[in-house]
């Protein structure tokens, strides 16, 4: 994988004071998504907006922090370093300054591990709408080195039509960032949630989306989930509902031959603390394998 390391980072070099602020990433993400609602604010980004933010994230991954900040500032995005109070690890947070105003654009947020080369991503396209997938995403990010978490910036029903349903549109900031990761051959796992009545026999529906490049990872995940007493529908061996074949990030990954997992969770593994911890632990079997050499970092 090329261009996915954050070189030159110095934990004492935060330019906003004595050092990066300590934050609980879970609380921070919960506060960010607390205002998401079906009738919330969403402004479709232009192509220039999407490309500029994806370029900024790419510059950060290449270790060019100042250039990343300059590029992101062109569209009122910013970058800061935070220390996760739960793990003690440093992350870069890419955020929209407009989110602090009365009419957020809904373009999303990114957290990037600064202490290891980025080797994998966890993607949350439907925060709040798929209850607590955003918090499960934080658990996954914490579970292995070398991760990047991308969270959509609005409820999927915000805006006009399906404009904010980022799992089914290519003209979003979320997709532009995921496409940049695919270009770098960074594998990803995308988290979703389903109502119990949609698949009452299962706790988890695991799929490789539109392709089969994630099959090894999918089998590893399904086995780890099964070992933790979750009932798993394996979409590569049987017909499962909600398998995400039309997911646009999955299609982009399949076209490039990049491993991708589309994982649907029943309410329990998302909202019950003990079950969520077990689900994240199972997901770490995949992300730690993807991290590879980052584990030694």
For residue range 91-145, list pLDDT tens digits in order. Answer: 999 999 999 888 899 999 999 999 999 999 999 999 999 999 999 999 999 999 9
Largest distance between two CA atoms of the chain: 55
**110: Cβ contacts below 8 Å, ≥ 6 apart:** 57, 92, 93, 94, 95, 148, 149, 150, 151, 177
Residue 235 reports pLDDT greater than 60: yes
The confidence score (pLDDT) of residue 102 equals 85
What is the helix (H) or strand (E) element at residue 52, kind and residue range? helix 47-61
Using 50, 70 and 90 to split pLDDT, how confident is the model at 182? very high
Q: Can you tell me whether residue 172 is helix, strand or coil?
A: coil
**43: Cβ contacts below 8 Å, ≥ 6 apart:** 103, 105, 106, 107, 159
Task: Kindly report the number of other CB atoms within 10 A of residue 238's CB atom.
Answer: 8
- β-pairing, 204-207 with 232-234? parallel
**101: Cβ contacts below 8 Å, ≥ 6 apart:** none
Residue 295 reports pLDDT greater than 70: no
Residue 159 reports pLDDT greater than 80: yes
- Judge contact between 133 and 124, C-beta under 8 A: yes
For residue range 255-283, list pLDDT tens digits in order. Answer: 999 999 999 999 999 999 999 999 999 99
Separation of CA 105 from chain center: 19
Q: Average pLDDT in the 80-87 region? A: 98
> Residue 47: what are its φ and ψ, rounded to 5°?
-60, -40
The confidence score (pLDDT) of residue 8 equals 37
CA distance 46 to 41: 16
Residue 12 reports pLDDT greater than 50: no
The confidence score (pLDDT) of residue 17 equals 53
The confidence score (pLDDT) of residue 101 equals 83
């Amino acid at each position: 994988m090329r261009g996915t390391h954050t070189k030159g980072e110095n934990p004492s070099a935060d330019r906003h004071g004595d050092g990066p602020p300590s934050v609980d990433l879970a609380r921070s993400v919960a506060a960010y998504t607390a205002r998401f609602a079906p009738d919330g604010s969403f402004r479709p980004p232009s192509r220039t907006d999407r490309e500029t933010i994806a370029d900024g994230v790419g510059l950060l991954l290449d270790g060019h922090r100042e250039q990343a900040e300059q590029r992101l500032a062109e569209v009122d995005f910013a970058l800061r370093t935070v220390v996760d109070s739960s793990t003690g690890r440093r992350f870069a947070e890419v955020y929209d300054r407009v989110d602090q105003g009365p009419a957020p654009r809904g373009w999303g947020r990114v957290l990037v591990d600064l202490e290891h080369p980025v080797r994998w991503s966890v993607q949350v396209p439907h925060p709040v709408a798929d209850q607590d997938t955003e918090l499960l995403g934080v658990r996954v990010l914490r579970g292995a080195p070398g991760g990047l978490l991308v969270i959509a910036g609005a409820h999927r029903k915000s805006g006009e039509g399906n404009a904010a349903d980022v799992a089914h549109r290519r003209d979003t900031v979320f997709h532009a960032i995921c496409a940049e990761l695919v270009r770098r051959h960074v594998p990803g796992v995308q988290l979703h949630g389903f109502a119990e009545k949609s698949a009452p026999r299962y706790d988890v529906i695991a799929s490789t989306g539109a392709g089969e490049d994630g099959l090894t990872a999918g089998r590893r995940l399904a086995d780890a989930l099964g070992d933790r007493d979750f009932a798993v529908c394996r979409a590569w061996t049987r017909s499962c509902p909600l398998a995400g074949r039309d997911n646009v990030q999955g299609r982009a990954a399949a076209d490039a031959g990049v491993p991708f997992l589309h994982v649907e969770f029943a309410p329990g593994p998302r909202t019950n603390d003990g079950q969520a911890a077990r689900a994240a632990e199972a997901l770490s079997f995949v992300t730690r394998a993807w991290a590879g050499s980052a584990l030694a970092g």
